[in-house]
Structure 1
Amino acid sequence: MNMGNSKVWTLVLLLAVLAGVVYYYMAGLQRRSGIFFENEDQSVPVEITIKDPEFHLVAPDHLKYKQPSLVQGRSDVVTVTPWLAPVVWEGTFDPSLLDSVYRLKNISVAVTVFAVGKYTRFLPDFLKTAEQHFFLGFRVRLYVFTDQPDKVPKVSMAKGRQVMVRLVPISKRWQEISARRMELIQTLIEAELQSNTDYIFCLDVDSKFHGRWGTESLGSLVAVIHPGYYTTPRTGLPYERRPQSRAYVAHGEGDFYYCGGAFGGILQEVYLLAKTCRTNFEADAKDGIEAAWQEESHLNRFMWINKPSKVLSPEYLWQDFKAITPEIHIIRFSGVTKNYADIRPN
């Protein structure tokens, strides 16, 4: 063998060794990452972990539903925010399609409701109407926080749905009751929900359901537009305006005014909201400050910075004493008319 041929064979051998090293490196990388690719000889399943179920929605094969339209729909209301989050109104979604998508996921929904002192009188209507309208056909656990467990009514629940009672101490001021909600929501998620719940909604007990509240409301972080201020200019929204408070929203800032009586989302997002609002509320208290609307003020500050991924229209928390306006085609959930002087401890 001459010198030229020897060099050629040496080069070929080196290239073969290099190719082998690259092959085993890439194979190991694929195994470690959990991602596998198809090749010409055989199909290998793709394995990718999706952390947030909101980004992967699968519909049943051959499901029949009305064809979506890009040129017809609600034209009397805004259906998307400036940060491109959907605003949910009647007529903007297909309930059968959405239910079919989320039924495949076998989701579980938790609800928190606080019935302390005389607020226990609202539990019968709340629980009864929730069983009639809230996430029908899905697994639901309603957590009732109360100082009077004996006043929680027995409600006949469908399979996979149940009421869970949690004892809490009474407070002398309704503001304190309101403020403690974030702490209790945070603790509930930490202690009980992480392994068995996908979504959580936090609702006011002095309300009842009148219509469907279901899978159209699901999102990573979900806010509800306050029915009293959805047409109010930004300058008139009742944010906390004192810079000394951690709930502060300056004039000229803020998006919408959201209800403290209805919010939700996936556990991670609601946990962050509850923990942040609780921390800021407690820090304010140490400085001798109480935000204008307690936890609702802190929630609005949080959601101004941390934009909700889905916004629910005032259909999802109306007020019984309000006249129904033309854009409200259905009332799904509504605060009942009451005498605050009678039910609040101060």
Structure 2
Amino acid sequence: MQMDHQKIRISGPFSKYHAPLVFGLCLLPSFILGYLWQASKGSWLSRNSILCETQSFSFHRNEADLSDGLPEIELPRMVYTKPHIFKPPRTDVLTMTPWLAPIIWDGTFNLEILNEQFRQRNTTIGLTVFAIKKYVVFLQRFLETAETYFMVGHRVKYYIFTDRPEAIPNITVKEGREIVPLRVQNYPRWQEISMRRMEMISYYSQQRFIYEVDFLVCVDVDMRFSDSVGVEILSEVFATIHPGFYAAERQAFTYERRPISEAYIPRDEGDFYYCGGFFGGTVAEVYKLTKKCHEAIMADKNKNVEAVWQEESHLNKYFVYHKPTKLLSPEYLWFTGNPHFLKKKRFIEIPKNRAVIRNKRNLPLK
């Protein structure tokens, strides 16, 4: 190669072919890599095409498997009044929370429509009550009225937690309904019994209820059903507005106000005051609720603290930060009085002398 100051000149026997050859050799690796990439791409596409076809076949096969053996549901023709946008069924009470959870009042739902929806799902409902010590005296009336008014037309399991299963009354229940005794330990103090409800419901939800029922309804036993309580109450997790605080401001709520307690709620927080005697939801959600409350109760116990209203205080704390997806109006747990807005009293407290029920004196079982 010779060089002068004006230009670069390539010399030698292959000088006229040398530049193109060098240029071609430079491009050869790119061609090879491109070919290999295209080949691998084609192979990848081929494999994934087969995979997609396999998945598609699997999906259709599983879809067919799911339909095999399932009964076809015949839906009856239903005639009912058309809902109107500008004619709400209730304007005298709040029917929706700020987080868009419905509040259930008489006149806000059509039970016939709801019954058909839940029959399609083949729903089974578990009803839990605690009848410890002398509280077994309330079982007869509780069960008899439940058979008349609770979840009529649906499958029900009555889970009765008791230290005296032999005292459960012999009541014949309708087809598809069952009384299930669950023996539990007795405790000297009624407050301790009350707080242990969360522990027992949590334990059995994980060990048994999840395999037997779709929803759990947890209520007090010293009550009676006096009107329909049906599937309108069912939701992921529901709570009941306490009849003593439905019109109260949050500062008047009897929340636990001591910061030392796990149930503590500051005075500027809270939506409603909820009953400890009527709550529920899916088994999974009730398990989470009761487990959380039980853990908080045990944490308080380790600090020698007891919340002002035992498990009800912890229930209210839970619902401040885990909003219920449906609220039941005071129709669903009522004490006394006849306010104008209360069109139905569905679940009513039985008058009693609590001192007699909770002390050690004998109480006749009638």
Runs (5+) with no aligned partner, structure 1: 1-10, 37-43, 48-57
Residues 84 and 154 of structure 1: CA distance in aligned 2, closer, same or farther (over 3 Å): same
Counterparts of 1:31 and 1:134, CA distance in 2? 48
1:323 maps to 2:307: no
Distance 1:178 1:89 in 2: 28
Q: Give the one of 40, 45, 51 matched to 1:28.
A: 51
The residue aligned with 2:287 is 271
With over 3 angstroms needed to count, the CA separation of the structure-2 counterparts of 1:245 and 1:35, relative to structure 1, is farther
* Aligned equivalents of 1:80, 1:234: Cα separation in 2: 18
Partner of 1:156: 172
For the residues of structure 1 that align with 2:347 and 2:297, how far apart are their CA atoms? 28
CA offset at residue 63 of structure 1?
3.7
CA RMSD of aligned residues (A): 2.8
Residue 118 (str. 1) matches residue 134 (str. 2): yes
Please say if residues 144 and 164 of structure 1, whose CA atoms lie closer than 8 Å, have aligned partners that are also in contact: yes
Amino acid at match of 1:163: I
2:246 is aligned, of 226, 230, 235, to 230
* Partner of residue 165, structure 1: 181
Q: Give the match for residue 310 of structure 2.
A: 294
Q: CA deviation at 1:28?
A: 3.2
Q: Secondary structure at 2:211's aligned position in 1?
A: coil
How far did residue 65 of structure 1 move?
2.9
Letter in 1 for 2:289: L
Aligned to 2:152: 136
TM-score (norm 2): 0.81
Residue 354 of structure 2: aligned partner:
340
Amino acid at match of 2:358: R
How many angstroms apart in 2 are the aligned matches of 1:169 and 1:345?
18
How many residues were matched structurally?
321
Equivalent residue for 1:306?
322
Alignment partner, residue 52 of structure 1: none
Contact 1:59 1:97 in 2 (8 A): no
- The answer as to 2:84 corresponding to 1:69 is yes
Unaligned runs of 5+ in 2: 1-33, 64-72, 361-366
2:162 corresponds to which of 135, 143, 146: 146
Question: Which amino acid in the other structure matches residue 68 of structure 1?
Answer: P
SS of the residue 1:195 aligns to? helix
Q: Measure the CA separation in 2 of the matches of 1:23 and 1:79.
A: 57
Deviation (angstroms), 1:196:
1.9
Change (3 A) 1:75 1:142: same
Query: SS in structure 2 opposite 1:194?
Result: helix
Structure 1 residues 263 and 30: alpha-carbon distance in aligned structure 2, compared to 1, 3 A threshold: farther
Q: State the one-letter code of the partner of 1:324.
A: N
| 2:60 is the counterpart of 1:60 | no
Q: Is the 8 A contact 1:60 1:101 kept in 2?
A: no
Q: How does the TM-score come out when normalised to structure 1? A: 0.85
Give % identity. 42
1:200 aligns with 2:223: no
1:254 to 253, 270, 287: 270
Deviation at 1:66, TM superposition (A): 2.3
Question: Residue 221 of structure 1: which of 234, 237, 243 is its match?
Answer: 237
SS in structure 1 of the partner of residue 212 of structure 2: coil
Q: Displacement of 1:59 after TM fit?
A: 10
Residues 35-58 of structure 1: per-residue CA shift (max 9 Å, x gap): 96xxxxxxx6995xxxxxxxxxx9
Shift of 1:20: 7.7
SS of corresponding position for 1:93: coil
> Could you tell me which of 174, 194, 218 is aligned with 1:178?
194
C-alpha distance in 2 between matches for 1:125 and 1:26? 66
Give a deviation string over 1:137-195, Cα, whole Å, max 9, x none: 11100011112222211111011101111122222111001011001101111221122
The alpha-carbon deviation at position 33 of structure 1 amounts to: 9.2
Tell which structure's C-alpha radius of gyration is larger. 2
How far does residue 111 in structure 1 lie from its aligned partner after superposition?
Answer: 1.0
